[in-house]
Amino acid sequence: MGVVNVTPDSFSDGGRWFDTTAAVKHGIDLVAQGADLVDVGGESTRPGAARVDEDEELRRVVPVVRGLAAEGVTVSVDTMRARVAQQALAAGAVLVNDVSGGLADPGMVPAVAAAQAPFVVMHWRGFLTDIHARPVYEDVVSEVVDELHARVEAAVAGGIAPERIVVDPGLGFSKNAEHDLALLARIDRLRTLGRPVLVAASRKRFLGRVLAGPEGSPPPARERDAATAAVSALAAHQGAWAVRVHEVRATADAVRVARAVTDAAGPGQGGNKGGNSGAGGVAGPEAAGEAGAQ
């Protein structure tokens, strides 16, 4: 899943693709580099980011979705608002990626259910300005799995078919570096939910912490792509359905190598056994409907 941020303030590439024409071209370029799916978002979720109003988010997102869909690109929309999701789906998007898992807008789950669209449910404890969103866990893996299970159940109760739900552990959202690493080490636990797993680690703060070491300064976001590719290979080996990244080519290569190593191990070996497809270049599960990676 390649990222197109139609925002002036994204933490990693804010402003580079703010123009509709540039954003559409970038999305097409990501497909040429190996993206199976392009995720278009018009609202930054970086710490401290102010929310844009709904009309501005629509203005940013819908023309880009329409332009990419017209070029035959498989598009997802990254939004927490039901009206943006509805209009993006009408413009040609095929999947809704909601970092709040349907919590930010009570209209989201009914809207996605009515559209019969695949839905990414991310682990979310609230906006990062909310005191309840603090990164406090006794057992981060167990708690994230339990809270995701509750959100999946709520989505199903709201009318979304279980086979259309994808889960995302929400790396960096109400989590510190140790939490993020623990979740990446236990993707197998996330897969016990029985849903495809999306891993969105690209350029995030915890990678900067790892690269900096105990006393160094974290490298800027755009210098974390090699680290992102490493996470992508690990996620693919553990059976993730997809990885969401800003720089596609390195991750596509990393995933290809991870798949080759897993295949060389023979049937029943390695982390990607049966069930949901691994990320990148393979048929996605029925759960993701038309948005499955091809």
* Catalytic sites, residue numbers: 204, 244
Is there a contact between 119 and 95 (Cβ–Cβ < 8 Å)? yes
For residue 63, what are its two tokens?
A: 């023309």
For residue 238, what are its two tokens?
A: 């553990």
Is there a contact between 203 and 187 (Cβ–Cβ < 8 Å)? no
274: Cβ–Cβ under 8 A, 6 or more apart, which residues?
A: none
Which residue do the tokens 């996330």 mark?
190
Q: How far apart are CA 199 and CA 138, in angstroms?
A: 22
- Candidates 130, 108, 106; CA nearest to 119 is 108
Is there a contact between 52 and 42 (Cβ–Cβ < 8 Å)? yes
Q: How far apart are CA 41 and CA 97, in angstroms?
A: 9
Q: Say how many C-beta atoms besides its own lie within 10 A of residue 176's C-beta.
A: 15
H or E stretch including 3? strand 2-5
